[in-house]
Homo-oligomer: A and B are copies of this chain.
Amino acid sequence: MNAGREVRHPVGVSLSGGVAGPDALRALVDVALLAMDAGIGARGGPLPSGGPAGVAAEVARVLGSGAAGPVPAARGAASAGPGPGTLPDIGVGDFAALRELSALLAWGSADPADPRCAGHLHCPPLAVAVAADLIASALNPSLDSWDQAPVAVALEAEVVAALAGLVGFPPGGAGGTITTGGTESNLMGLLLARDALGPGVGRRRILCSQAAHFSIRRCAGHLGLGEDAVVTVPTDAEHRMDPHALAAAVGRVRAGNDRIAAIVATAGTTDLGAIDPLPAIAAVARAAGAWLHVDAAYGGGALFSNRLTPLLTGLEGAHSVGLDLHKLGWQPIAAGVFLVRDAALLGPLAQRAAYLNPDDDQRAGYVSLLGNSPRTTRRADVFKIAVTLRALGRAGLGELVDRCHDLARHAAEAIRADPHLELSAEPVLTTVVFRYLRRGHDPDDPVDRAEADRVNAALRRRLLHEGRAVIGRTELGDEPGAVRLKLTLVNPDTTGADLGALLAAVVEAGRAESATPG
């Protein structure tokens, strides 16, 4: 017990909090930002060139596994030759590690702030949100008890109330939480719906459109309902759930003596941005007495825009809604939001733990948010959101949404005007689905179709490998297996000229791949 008696601290540790925290951070952040700058410069484009093998070689070189690499990400850094690897016995020190790996990450990122990075709902974060997130990281509040996060707990309640108001839920009654994203929000909606249904005979079914996100099926599996509990409802020509088909599906489920755990509507499909007809679906759900969850992970951002808000009419008829502010909200990941129209609907998540939220502490006002989330320890992702909402306001965020919407319409026109490109559908939000087709392509010829699939997949990989562009890729329900390309336009600083250059690069890569035998 001698060691216990004398508590010696030979070396001070640089912590991010406390009175010394801000100074310690300032010095380290300076180094990290310089290295990030160097890495971005070394990249010189939207993503590193060389493809997976090039990236792997550079990671190995920097981590010191001995591989040689041509990329100057760690120029001027300490490592020369084989280095200490990921978990050395003796560390290389704060500054060296931060310098080497920040340069590596910056070089090796697909940077959503580059206009040529347009593949995914992977937004470039606002600098103000990232700076705010640093403070949340530094102070490290955890939302599972009051005494780990006094102000953060209060801020989450404020932000949830404000966003519930934006959705149109009744003031005062709504509830919710910040989530890791649309998948966790969908899981929560389905979990609450499942548990609200209670015991009974007959299999529990989930109804959603055939264009709904794959996480609906995946979550049904995780929740023990089985992936095959999901019944998919046909869509109309604009890829929206057909409410008549939904009503028919409800009838079939009932006729089969199964039960409806939830109806899931989508407000903004990942590929086309299609928004299901919410008022009609809400009416079917009401008539069926079923829980309505709306996956507005993507489309929810339209609520910031006066122009686009009408698309979400009927959203307020849902029991639960998920929206992702790391999509049309310009937050760093994670910034999912899960909302219920009545906080009492969160009941199945209620949880008491003697060490977190004993009853007498709760009664004394030391409230815990443990019962709002399936997680225990929980980062204050709400903080960056709160700062952003206050900094930009609804109008400021709405302008960013409108800019991206403009970009999508502009891109659709440019695609329509280009004889090498085929537009798959009119944009609804900020995505544009299309493909490259060689002149003379015959859509009825299976050989031509296979060649088009090969060329589109290959031209996308060519652009990735050359470090020139990140273009999305997908399939649509009307022609399963057919490769389509996609621009996901979530960078409000992208210009029309940027879009022109991006589409020109696609056409050029398409020509090059068409000339290459498959």
Question: A318 in the interface, Cβ–Cβ < 8 Å?
Answer: no
Beta-carbon contact of A151 and B32 below 8 Å:
no
| Residues on the B chain within 8 Å of A105, using CB | 135-136, 139, 141, 151-152, 155, 380, 383
Q: In the assembled complex, which residues on chain B have CB atoms less than 8 Å from the CB atom of A125?
A: 15-17, 137-138, 140
Query: How long is the Cα–Cα vector from A126 to B25 in the complex, in angstroms?
Result: 9
Asked if A326 and B377 make an inter-chain contact with CB atoms under 8 angstroms apart, the answer reads: yes
- Could you say which of A22, A24, A378, A496 has the most chain B C-beta atoms within 10 Å of its C-beta? A22
Q: A224-B224, A391-B91 are in contact. Are A111 and B166 (CB under 8 A)?
A: no
What separation, in Å, do the CA atoms of A401 and B32 have in the docked complex? Answer: 26
**In chain A between 103 and 141, which residues have their CB closer than 8 angstroms to a CB of chain B?**
104-114, 119-141
Overall SS of chain A's interface? helix
User: Would you give the shortest CB distance from A200 to chain B, in whole angstroms?
Assistant: 15
Q: Is A56 an interface residue (CB 8 A)?
A: yes
Flag if B134 contacts A137 (CB, 8 Å).
Answer: yes
Q: Which of the residues B22, B26, B91, B223 comes within 8 Å of A396, measured between beta carbons?
A: B91
Q: How many residues on chain A are close to B (CB under 8 Å)?
A: 191
Asked whether, in the complex, the Cβ of A9 is within 8 Å of the Cβ of B403, the reply is yes
Contact stretch, chosen from A234-242, A243-251, A339-347, A351-359? A351-359
A390 an interface residue at 8 Å Cβ cutoff? yes
Within the complex, which residue of B154, B387, B483, B493 is in contact with A9, where a contact is CB–CB below 8 Å?
B493
Query: Considering the chains assembled together, what is the distance between the CA atoms of A32 and B40 in angstroms?
Result: 24
Q: Given known contacts A22-B34, A128-B14, is B377 in contact with A333 (CB within 8 Å)? A: yes
Cβ distance A61 to chain B, nearest Cβ, rounded Å: 12
- Across the interface, do B147 and A120 meet the contact criterion of CB distance under 8 Å? yes
Q: Is A63 an interface residue (CB 8 A)?
A: yes
Q: Mark out the residues of chain A between 34 and 56 whose CB falls within 8 Å of any chain B CB in the assembled complex.
A: 34-37, 40-41, 47-48, 51-53, 55-56
Known contacts A90-B395, A184-B375; 13 further A-B pairs (Cβ under 8 A)? A15-B493, A17-B113, A19-B40, A93-B391, A97-B390, A102-B135, A106-B139, A108-B152, A120-B355, A181-B378, A215-B376, A324-B377, A364-B461
- Contacts A/B (CB < 8 Å), 30 sampled: A4-B409, A7-B496, A15-B491, A16-B124, A24-B127, A25-B130, A48-B150, A48-B151, A52-B365, A59-B151, A59-B155, A87-B165, A87-B393, A91-B389, A97-B387, A98-B131, A101-B386, A101-B390, A105-B135, A107-B151, A108-B151, A109-B150, A120-B148, A130-B134, A136-B332, A140-B326, A184-B375, A333-B379, A358-B483, A364-B461
